């Protein structure tokens, strides 16, 4: 028997039980679980059990809203699949750039979020205008391999991702908590979509194999029509399931963040030691500099997801120090990359690629500095976890603004 269990100690003292619960609900629930196992016949504990596990039955209005939301999701999934297939047809004809495929999915996910969040008309109109301007502008650009055009293609997904974030946060777009939810949504969406996509690939392989037994090669038809349609529609379904608080992705996401952080730290340290040992030089090796920046973006993503998936009730632990180590390491990488970029700019002149990489690295460097100082204050008990999360969420629009700057100015600046 657990002699330190506060619920058991005060089982006959309802006032004290209420005081314990109000002081620390999470600790109370843990103590209660053990106490309930030991005394399932206790009337006091029975009342508390119902209180802790009570769920309001769904009303007719709530059921109606759920059904409408489900039907709207189904309609958007079909429209996304059809739109993506139509866009792919023009991509095959080389009439438009492949990046247009993003417009077959992202605007429909945004439409679902706007609908489910009952966003204000000003938000709906703004998002509609920005999506329309983006797709029209993109297809007015010449189809060529110029660096400025390729940079537009690379930055457009970032800009659309920020627009999707506005749709997700709805009327609370300025609130840090809603932006934090959006970052969490991305990780949970990725887990769920990948899980369903693997199942879809198995089904596709099985289907094509079965048709091959009767002498029919349906690979091209199946990919162009079924797989493409399904991949687009599945994105809408996954967004819907995550937004409906599907527990699978939500339960897995924190563990993935905790597992990957130390693995990334160890791998990165081993890689950097190897790089130094082999004498690789990002100042002169362009491909190595690109790889360096790729590593930086990966570390930034892992760090942000680790921070956002951290439980606010959780005590400081080794994961926090791993996160700080990752941030410091990312700052070192970014500082080296910035030095190499400045060196290449001064030595070889300004190009669209060098200017874009310089801008991105400067933005990331500033963001990492903010996160690092916030984390250090948190570890010194000078601030709460929300300070770190603010350093992540409040900076997100900056990346969107930079992406917009590259998209809408580079083709004219570097014509």
* Tens digit of each residue's pLDDT (9 = 90 or more) over 146-172: 888 999 999 999 999 999 999 999 888
Query: How far is the C-alpha of 313 from the C-alpha of 316, rounded, in Å?
Result: 10
Q: Which range has the worst mean pLDDT, 3-7, 17-21, 353-357?
A: 3-7
Q: Is residue 364 part of a domain?
A: yes
* Tens digit of each residue's pLDDT (9 = 90 or more) over 333-392: 888 888 888 888 888 888 888 888 889 889 989 998 999 999 888 888 888 778 888 888
Q: What is the mean pLDDT of the chain?
A: 82
Domain check: are 311 and 201 in the same one? no
Query: How far is the C-alpha of 2 from the C-alpha of 34, rounded, in Å?
Result: 8
Question: Could you give the percent of the chain with pLDDT greater than 90?
Answer: 25
Averaging pLDDT over each range in 25-34, 181-190, 364-373, which range is the top one?
364-373
Query: How far is the C-alpha of 219 from the C-alpha of 211, rounded, in Å?
Result: 10
First to last CA, the chain: 77
Domain check: are 198 and 343 in the same one? no
Question: Could you give the percent of the chain with pLDDT greater than 70?
Answer: 87
Q: Is residue 312 part of a domain?
A: yes
* Tens digit of each residue's pLDDT (9 = 90 or more) over 272-287: 777 677 766 666 666 6
> DSSP 3-state assignment of 277?
helix
Query: How far is the C-alpha of 409 from the C-alpha of 127, rounded, in Å?
Result: 20
Average pLDDT over residues 178-205: 85
Residue where a domain stops, chosen among 53, 68, 89:
53
Query: How far is the C-alpha of 162 from the C-alpha of 408, rounded, in Å?
Result: 16
Query: How far is the C-alpha of 206 from the C-alpha of 132, rounded, in Å?
Result: 39
Return the pLDDT at 38: 77
Residue 82: pLDDT band with limits 50, 70, 90? very high
Q: Which two tokens stand for residue 399?
A: 């990346």
Q: Is residue 248 part of a domain?
A: no
Q: Which two tokens stand for residue 17?
A: 């039980």
Domain check: are 11 and 113 in the same one? no
The total number of structural domains that make up the chain: 3
Query: How far is the C-alpha of 345 from the C-alpha of 355, rounded, in Å?
Result: 8
Q: Is residue 35 part of a domain?
A: yes
Return the pLDDT at 3: 55
Q: Has residue 71 got a pLDDT over 70?
A: yes
Domain check: are 139 and 30 in the same one? no
Return the pLDDT at 125: 94
> DSSP 3-state assignment of 56?
coil
Q: Has residue 64 got a pLDDT over 60?
A: no
Q: Residue written as tokens 């309930």?
A: 36
Averaging pLDDT over each range in 35-44, 55-64, 82-91, 117-126, which range is the top one?
82-91
Return the pLDDT at 254: 66
Q: Has residue 100 got a pLDDT over 60?
A: yes
Domain check: are 158 and 297 in the same one? no
Query: How far is the C-alpha of 170 from the C-alpha of 243, rounded, in Å?
Result: 13
CB atoms within 10 A of CB 247: 7
Domain check: are 220 and 260 in the same one? no
Domain check: are 120 and 65 in the same one? yes
Query: How far is the C-alpha of 199 from the C-alpha of 202, rounded, in Å?
Result: 5
Domain check: are 38 and 153 in the same one? no
Closest to 389 measured CA to CA, from 263, 302, 304, 323: 304
Domain check: are 173 and 275 in the same one? no
Residue range of the domain that includes 20 = 6-53
Q: Which two tokens stand for residue 305?
A: 């997801």
Domain check: are 143 and 199 in the same one? yes
Domain check: are 304 and 219 in the same one? no
Residue where a domain stops, chosen among 34, 53, 72:
53
Residue 243: pLDDT band with limits 50, 70, 90? confident
Residue where a domain stops, chosen among 53, 70, 92:
53
Q: Is residue 46 part of a domain?
A: yes
Greatest C-alpha distance within the chain: 81
Phi then psi for 33, rounded to 5 degrees? -55, -45
Domain check: are 234 and 353 in the same one? no
> DSSP 3-state assignment of 394?
coil
Query: How far is the C-alpha of 159 from the C-alpha of 172, rounded, in Å?
Result: 19
Return the pLDDT at 196: 85
Q: Has residue 2 got a pLDDT over 60?
A: no
With contact defined as beta carbons under 8 Å apart, do 400 and 149 qualify?
A: no
């Amino acid at each position: 028997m657990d002699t330190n269990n506060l619920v058991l100690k005060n089982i006959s003292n309802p006032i004290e039980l209420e005081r314990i619960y109000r002081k620390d609900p999470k600790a109370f629930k843990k103590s209660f679980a053990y106490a309930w196992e030991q005394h399932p016949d206790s009337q006091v504990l029975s009342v508390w059990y119902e209180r802790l596990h009570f769920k309001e039955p769904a009303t007719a209005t709530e059921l109606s809203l759920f059904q409408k939301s489900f039907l709207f999701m189904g309609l958007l999934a079909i429209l996304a699949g059809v739109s993506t297939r139509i866009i792919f047809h023009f991509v095959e004809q080389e009439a438009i750039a492949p990046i247009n495929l993003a417009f077959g999915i992202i605007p429909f996910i945004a439409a679902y979020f706007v609908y489910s969040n009952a966003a204000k008309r000003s938000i709906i109109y703004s998002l509609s205008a920005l999506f329309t301007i983006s797709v029209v502008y993109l297809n007015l650009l010449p189809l060529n391999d110029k660096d400025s055009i390729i940079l537009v293609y690379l930055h457009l997904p970032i800009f659309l991702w920020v627009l999707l974030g506005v749709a997700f946060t709805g009327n609370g777009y300025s609130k840090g908590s809603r932006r934090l939810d959006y970052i969490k949504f991305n990780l949970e969406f990725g887990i769920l979509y990948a899980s369903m996509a693997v199942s879809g690939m198995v089904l596709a392989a099985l289907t094509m194999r079965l048709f091959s037994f009767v002498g029919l090669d349906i690979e091209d038809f199946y990919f162009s029509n079924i797989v493409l349609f399904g991949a687009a529609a599945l994105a809408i379904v996954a967004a819907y399931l995550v937004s409906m608080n599907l527990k699978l992705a939500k339960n897995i996401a924190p563990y993935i963040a905790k597992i990957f952080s130390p693995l990334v730290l160890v791998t990165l340290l081993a890689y950097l030691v190897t790089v130094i040992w082999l004498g690789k030089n990002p100042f002169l090796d362009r491909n190595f500099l690109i790889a360096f920046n790729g590593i930086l973006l990966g570390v930034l993503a892992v760090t942000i997801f680790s921070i956002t998936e951290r439980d606010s009730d959780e005590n400081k632990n080794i994961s926090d120090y791993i996160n700080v180590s990752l941030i410091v390491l990312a700052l070192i990488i970014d500082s080296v990359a910035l030095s190499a970029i400045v060196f290449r700019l001064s030595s070889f002149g300004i190009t669209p690629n060098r200017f874009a990489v310089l801008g991105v690295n400067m933005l990331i460097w500033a963001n990492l500095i903010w996160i690092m100082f916030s984390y250090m204050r948190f570890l010194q008990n000078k601030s709460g976890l929300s300070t770190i999360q603010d350093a992540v969420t409040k900076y997100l629009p900056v990346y969107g603004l930079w992406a917009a700057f590259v998209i809408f100015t580079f083709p004219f600046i570097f014509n």
